[in-house]
Amino acid sequence: MDLGDLAWPEYAERVKANPVVFLPVGSLEQHGPHLPLATDALLPAALARDAAAEVGGLVLPTIPYGYRSMPKSGGGPGFPGTTDLEAMTLIHLVHDILCEQARHGVRKVCVLVGHYENQWMVTEGIHLAMARIGGAGVRVMRVEYWDLLDEAVLDAVFESGPRSIALEHAAVMETSLMLHYHPERVRLDRIPDDPPAEFPPYDMFPAVAAWVPSSGALTSAKAATAAKGRLMAEAIRSRLAVAIAKEFAPT
């Protein structure tokens, strides 16, 4: 189901059946001492493959970079390795990929976002692409995968502990999902145990490095487990499949 693995005749044949095409959008960003820089790209790619298997879709190559990491949601630009795009670069990437897929006949797209800061740049790329494509019947869903986690799943994942999706950077959610999909890429012996970061209700430019815990994780990742990752992955797969069936149903 990886679109990039298909030869062109296979691609043409598959697109004739009007599949949902997934575009995972990630980042190259610090994720603490225990997770790889590519975490925000690896997770939506894996989740998109699961969803594509469920609905018979195809998965585009992931956009491996994202919009500027912010201290309060991703640690900010001060960590070695964090490699940010300017807004227009990401907008153009999303726009160009959607326009090209539409030119080849793709009509159903699900853009699966794995990096918090990407949301509005991705939205703008979709918006400009829709205007460019015109009335070809193309429909696009944009979803941040964590928004597919309902209260029951969040209760199970966070147990009685503090719960703040805003601080879930390199913490329980991402570490658990990585333990489920890519356990060999998690450095178990380096999982940090920072208390929840406390941020002021504003941003500063240049970023203030002292706001961010030195590990780069915005709250403790100690409670992460592969079982929690599987629970979240299954919840996301099934809720995404339901949403796709609803929104892309023939009218």
Element (H, E) at 85: strand 84-85
Q: Which is nearer to Mn ion, 107 or 115 (CB)?
A: 115
Q: Closest residue to Zn ion, Cβ-based?
A: 40
Q: What are phi and psi of 176, to 5 degrees?
A: -65, -45
Q: What is the DSSP string of 134-171?
A: -SS--EEEEEEGGGG--HHHHHHHHTTS---GGG-SSS
Minimum distance, C-beta of residue 172 to Mn ion, in the bound complex (Å) = 15
Catalytic residue among 95, 115, 180, 194: 115
Minimum distance, C-beta of residue 35 to Mn ion, in the bound complex (Å) = 11
Residues between 59 and 78 that touch Mn ion (CB under 5 A)? 74
Q: Which is nearer to Mn ion, 37 or 133 (CB)?
A: 37
Minimum distance, C-beta of residue 194 to Zn ion, in the bound complex (Å) = 15
Minimum distance, C-beta of residue 196 to Mn ion, in the bound complex (Å) = 17
Measure CA of the first residue to CA of the last residue in the chain; give whole Å. Answer: 26
Q: Which is nearer to Mn ion, 145 or 248 (CB)?
A: 145
Q: Which is nearer to Zn ion, 69 or 101 (CB)?
A: 69
Cβ atoms within 10 Å, residue 226: 17
Decide if 93 contacts 124 (C-beta within 8 A): no
C-alpha triplet 7, 10, 14: angle, nearest 5°: 135
Q: Does 40 bind Zn ion (CB under 5 A)?
A: yes
Q: Is 96 a catalytic residue?
A: no
Q: Is 169 a catalytic residue?
A: yes
Q: Does 194 bind Zn ion (CB under 5 A)?
A: no
Strand pairing report for 58-59 and 20-25: parallel
Decide if 21 contacts 107 (C-beta within 8 A): no
216 binds, among Zn ion, Mn ion, none (CB under 5 to 8 A by kind): none
How far is the C-alpha of 36 from the C-alpha of 84, rounded, in Å?
16
Binding site for Zn ion (CB under 5 A): 40
Active site residues: 29, 31, 40, 115, 117, 169, 174
Binding site for Mn ion (CB under 5 A): 27, 29, 40, 74, 115
